[in-house]
């Protein structure tokens, strides 16, 4: 698919826009529709488009599989960590009010942080699942070629 | 549309029909002023799940196996369940009435207080991330668990026998070429 000139040019134009839109959904989520889940999926869709056009190996150079595992866990840990931070600062679990002095600023800080955690987890997990499926075919072909029956 | 998805034997066409169905649902949610849900449906339902279905189709055969005959028991169960569900909807309150349970329980509290509580204009974000924060954390854990499950299933290197090609005899060196050819034709059949 990578030989098609139209696809390459259009993708080169579209991928930054898709990723920018993902970031917009992520960080503008408290003002307009959107949030971590949608943003993560849209961001991952941009990466998957890159992988479809330019090949999975090039896409894995952008973000390695190991980085995906780490980030997927880190997003959830960020979410849980913000909750624990509230406990440490004298509130209840996932209570954002103790985080900052102004209640509005504290809530907004908490919401943006947990949504960012969700976004990171969703984006990396979707990329990871896609990588797993896309790599499966080449693995099978390799096994069929080698003929090693382990 | 749902009937078409069930009837069609070409799995690629079924996947595309699913994507169109999701996109139409997203349009319906937009009409109902549910921007967040519409965005999710368009991104996840029409986008990512279609890509994943296509990724699986690259591994599997394109056409469904024809099944012989009809399963009457299954048809009866489906028919009775559908009839019961339709009967249950008769008891639901009318759509959009102001005294519906959905409009008098916690909804008004969120609508009245979410802006003064946190200064966040998008009520959905406020409810998801702050009032119902633990639920959202559970969802994030579900996503992570799904990723781990796929990793656990697919990180094992495939074995030759799973590919559906069982060597009849232990392969010798001079047969290596023949077998390679057989494999490539089998691959073409799959596609």
pLDDT above 90 for B85: yes
pLDDT tens for each residue of A24-82: 988 887 777 778 888 999 999 999 989 888 888 888 888 888 899 899 999 999 988 88
Rounded mean pLDDT of A7-31? 88
C-alpha span between B9 and B65 (Å, rounded):
8
pLDDT above 50 for B169: no
pLDDT tens for each residue of B35-73: 888 888 888 888 888 888 888 887 877 777 776 667 888
Write out chain A residues lying below 8 Å of B130, CB-based: 96, 107, 110-111
Give the pLDDT of residue A17: 93
Q: Which of A30, A122, A139 sits opposite B157 (nearest CB)?
A: A139
C-alpha span between A16 and A20 (Å, rounded):
6
Return the higher-pLDDT residue of B108 and B43.
B43
In chain A, where the domains are located: 5-146
Nearest Cα to A129, choosing from B174, B72, B53? B53
3-state helix, strand, coil in chain A (%, to 5): 80, 0, 20
Write out chain A residues lying below 8 Å of B55, CB-based: 130, 133-134
Give the pLDDT of residue B181: 40
Alpha-helical regions (H) of B32-104 = 35-40, 49-57, 72-89, 101-104
Return the higher-pLDDT residue of A96 and B160.
A96
Q: What letter does residue B105 receive in the DSSP assignment?
A: S
In chain B, where the domains are located: 1-65, 102-160
Give the pLDDT of residue A100: 77
- Helical (H) or strand (E) element with A50: helix A36-54
Nearest C-alpha of chain B: how many angstroms from A49? 10
pLDDT tens for each residue of B111-159: 777 777 777 777 777 777 778 888 888 888 998 999 899 888 887 777 6
- Token pair belonging to B138: 């559970």
Q: Say which residues have a Cβ less than 8 Å from residue B99's Cβ, sequence separation at least 6.
A: B93
Give the pLDDT of residue B79: 92
Provide the 10 A C-beta neighbour count for residue B129: 30
DSSP helix/strand/coil, B63:
strand
Write out chain A residues lying below 8 Å of B151, CB-based: 69, 128, 132
Phi, psi for B48 (deg, rounded to 5): -70, -40
Give the pLDDT of residue B112: 76
C-alpha span between B28 and B19 (Å, rounded):
14
Give the pLDDT of residue B176: 41
Q: Which of B118, B141, B163 sits opposite A108 (nearest CB)?
A: B118
Residue with tokens 């209640």: A103
pLDDT tens for each residue of A124-146: 999 998 888 888 877 777 777 77
Rounded mean pLDDT of B174-181? 41
């Amino acid at each position: 698919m990578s030989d098609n000139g139209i696809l390459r040019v259009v993708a080169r134009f579209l991928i930054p826009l898709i990723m920018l839109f993902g970031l917009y959904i992520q960080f503008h989520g408290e003002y307009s529709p959107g949030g971590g889940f949608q943003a993560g999926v849209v961001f991952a869709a941009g990466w998957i488009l890159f992988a479809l056009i330019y090949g999975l190996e090039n896409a894995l150079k952008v973000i390695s599989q190991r980085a995906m595992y780490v980030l997927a866990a880190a997003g959830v840990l960020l979410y849980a960590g913000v909750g624990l931070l509230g406990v440490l600062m004298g509130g209840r679990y996932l209570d954002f009010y103790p985080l900052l002095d102004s209640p509005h600023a504290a809530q907004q800080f908490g919401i943006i942080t947990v949504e960012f955690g969700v976004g990171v987890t969703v984006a990396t997990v979707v990329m990871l699942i896609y990588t797993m499926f896309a790599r499966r075919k080449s693995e099978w072909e390799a096994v069929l070629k080698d003929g090693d029956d382990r | 549309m749902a009937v078409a998805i069930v009837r069609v034997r070409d799995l690629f066409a079924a996947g595309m029909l699913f994507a169109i169905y999701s996109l139409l649902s997203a349009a319906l949610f937009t009409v109902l002023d549910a921007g967040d849900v519409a965005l999710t449906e368009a991104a996840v339902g029409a986008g990512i799940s279609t890509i994943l279905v296509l990724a699986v189709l690259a591994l599997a055969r394109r056409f469904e196996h024809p099944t012989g005959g009809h399963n009457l028991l299954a048809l009866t169960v489906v028919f009775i369940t559908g009839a019961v569900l339709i009967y249950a909807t008769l008891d639901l309150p009318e759509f959009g009435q102001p005294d519906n349970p959905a409009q008098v329980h916690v909804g008004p509290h969120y609508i009245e207080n979410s802006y003064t509580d946190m200064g966040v204009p998008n009520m959905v974000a406020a409810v998801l991330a702050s009032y119902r924060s633990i639920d959202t954390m559970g969802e994030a854990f579900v996503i992570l668990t799904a990723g781990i499950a796929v990793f656990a299933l697919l990180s094992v290197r495939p074995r030759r026998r799973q590919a559906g090609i069982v060597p009849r005899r232990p392969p010798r060196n001079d047969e290596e070429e023949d077998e390679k050819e057989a494999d490539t034709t089998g691959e073409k059949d799959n596609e």
